[in-house]
Structure 1
Amino acid sequence: MNNPHSDHIPQEAFDWYDEYAHGKMDRRTFMKKLGGLVALGYSMTVLTSALLPNYALAEQVSFNDEEIKATYQTFDSPDGHSKGQGYLVIPTGLTGKRPVVLVIHENRGLNPYIKDVARRLAKAGFIAFAPDALYPLGGYPGNDDEGRAMQRSMDKEKIQNDFVAAANYLKSHPNSNGKLGAVGFCFGGYIVNYLAAVESTLLNAGVPFYGTPASEALRKNIKAPLVIQLAELDERVNATWPDYERDLKSLGVDYQMHMYPKTNHGFHNDSTGRYDKENAELAWQRTLAFFNEKLV
């Protein structure tokens, strides 16, 4: 893991953080619970450094990397917030048509970790686009707490429509080969499932990391192949999997599910102590292999 102390932190601390990060616990309660662990001898500095993101740790590909070019691009979203914006990363020296991949952030806007994921995809030869749901409110504010509050204040249906618009924008990019993949994390995992369900022909391949499924009424539309990435200790999301799997099977959807042992929700995010390097790298290699199989 990123943080050498994270192995010694009780599992309940990770569970509390998950509740806090998803609006089921306020910050005061979260910090009070951590204070209870301090009373048992844990260091608050160790606890917060393991649980809260440090985005300086989350750069695997520099924005100055000569093999990629990153820019911000706007797109029309008439059924959403009118206009959207995202982080577009393309391989330099791009010639001909390439597969395109939408990268979808967690419930707090386009943070540095998600931008780095887009750069990783471009390094692997894909055209990647990471929209910022918070663009109508001025964009990701620079910290997760504020970003989370901003996203919670927005109309969920309009956000969903913004991501549909972003998907169509990316799919029609001049260098797109017409095949669209999507990868998302947490809320972004839900959006990948939603994009697969809202319109049968929109996605050609989807990889939701620890995301809940689209509504049951929409699932009948799913035709895109999926690779479902789940964390063994993520009880909240995993509780939704049996019903989702039943529907995918009944529809004959081409899917794989990977359950990563002893991992927490967010295990791919290398900016926190939830990061599990070995499983994150395995999940990422499976993601790239899947996109290369279905999109190239």
Structure 2
Amino acid sequence: MADGTPKIDIPKEVFALYDAYCHGDLSRRAFFSKLSTFAGGGITVSMLAACVMPDYNRLQTQPGEAGLVEADITYPSPAGAGTMGGYLVRPAGATGPLPAILVIHENRGLNPYIRDVVRRAASAGYVAFGPDALFPLGGYPGNDDDGRALQAQRTREEMYADFVAAAEFLRDHSAVNGKVAVTGFCFGGAISNQLAVDLPWLSASVPYYGGWPAGEAAARLEVPLQIHLASDDPRVNEGWVSYEAALKAAGKAYEVHWYKDTQHGFHNDTTPRYDPEAAALAWRRTLEFFAAHLG
């Protein structure tokens, strides 16, 4: 590694442990305890943990990027938290309203990676907005462990109402022309899937490796849908089988893209699960899909 730490070949089982930890199936103590099984030969538990934990020094963009106008703002969410917060970024010098992209975070709040994705979307010519489900609890706390614990304190129903309110806030914003698409990752992918069936006025939805709505919801889908899935992600992929069957039975159109030899989270460039080639291809397809449906 660039910092002088020896390169470690991370066993797939370690990634599986990290996935279970990220999704609440393992406590932090149990995660580190199980990592000890793979330590040895000069490789310590802390070294293994460092290899799978996010490193936000790897971000593709930074706050203050040239050509972007950034602001942390609040918006009303009467059916959710009451008042919510998020990160709004738009291209500088825009001469009129633009289409917008709502970016929904994973299960740990609006962390630096998701803020980076918001900036990337704005750099592509959109007004981009990332709401922070942790805003009512003080906002993203500066690390994913505490962020995950905080998000677990909120109900999914209330957070969902906050994301619906974010979509409506973005649609009605003076810098937006009324067209809104949504994308999200993991937890955010699941929310993006659900918004696609609940908000028929959306212009497009692009979920990345998220959970699925109930099968009967597929009949309500009217929003153009593009799905990105990792090949090695049984937690998510098992549910896709039944949801795809429901979409087909309802005669609904969708795109699905599979990425060979990738893991859950392959788009996240701050962890070793990142696959540069797959992530670049998925993001290019995402922007092409948005361009086709947002103009």
Q: CA deviation at 1:197?
A: 1.6
Cross-structure match for 1:216 = 215
Q: CA deviation at 1:118?
A: 0.4
Q: Are 1:250 and 2:249 counterparts?
A: yes
Cross-structure match for 1:12 = 13
CA distance in 1, matches of 2:212, 2:42: 40
CA distance in 2, matches of 1:250, 1:2: 51
Q: How does 1:61-80 map to 2 (within 5 A)?
A: 61-80=61-80
CA distance in 2, matches of 1:119, 1:69: 9
Cα contact 1:6–1:274 (8 A) shared by 2: no
Cross-structure match for 1:287 = 286
Report SS of the residue matched to 1:262.
Answer: strand
CA distance in 2, matches of 1:63, 1:279: 25
Cross-structure match for 2:276 = 277
Structure 2 unaligned blocks of 5 or more: none
Report SS of the residue matched to 2:110.
Answer: coil
Q: How does 1:169-208 map to 2 (within 5 A)?
A: 169-201=169-201, 203-208=202-207
Q: CA deviation at 1:191?
A: 0.5
Report SS of the residue matched to 2:242.
Answer: helix
> Percent identity over the alignment?
48
Q: CA deviation at 1:247?
A: 1.6
Cross-structure match for 1:29 = 30
Q: How does 1:111-126 map to 2 (within 5 A)?
A: 111-126=111-126
Whichever residue aligns with residue 8 of structure 1, its letter is: D
Using the TM superposition, name which of 46-55 and 275-284 deviates more: 46-55
Whichever residue aligns with residue 10 of structure 1, its letter is: P
Cross-structure match for 2:86 = 86
CA distance in 2, matches of 1:70, 1:259: 33
Report SS of the residue matched to 1:107.
Answer: coil
CA distance in 1, matches of 2:259, 2:247: 20
Cα contact 1:2–1:271 (8 A) shared by 2: no
Q: Are 1:130 and 2:127 counterparts?
A: no
Cross-structure match for 2:224 = 225
Whichever residue aligns with residue 109 of structure 1, its letter is: G
Cross-structure match for 1:263 = 262
Report SS of the residue matched to 2:232.
Answer: coil
CA distance in 2, matches of 1:206, 1:97: 20
Q: CA deviation at 1:51?
A: 0.7
Structure 1 unaligned blocks of 5 or more: none
- Relative to the length of structure 2, the TM-score reads 0.95
Distance 1:71 1:139, change over 3 A: same
Cross-structure match for 2:240 = 241
Using the TM superposition, name which of 219-228 and 33-42 deviates more: 33-42
Distance 1:218 1:40, change over 3 A: farther
CA distance in 1, matches of 2:148, 2:187: 11
Distance 1:97 1:105, change over 3 A: same
- Relative to the length of structure 1, the TM-score reads 0.95
Q: CA deviation at 1:97?
A: 2.3
Distance 1:5 1:77, change over 3 A: farther
Cross-structure match for 1:96 = 96
Report SS of the residue matched to 1:119.
Answer: helix
Q: CA deviation at 1:74?
A: 1.0
Cα offsets for 1:140-179 (capped at 9, x unmatched):
0001111101111111101000000000000111121221
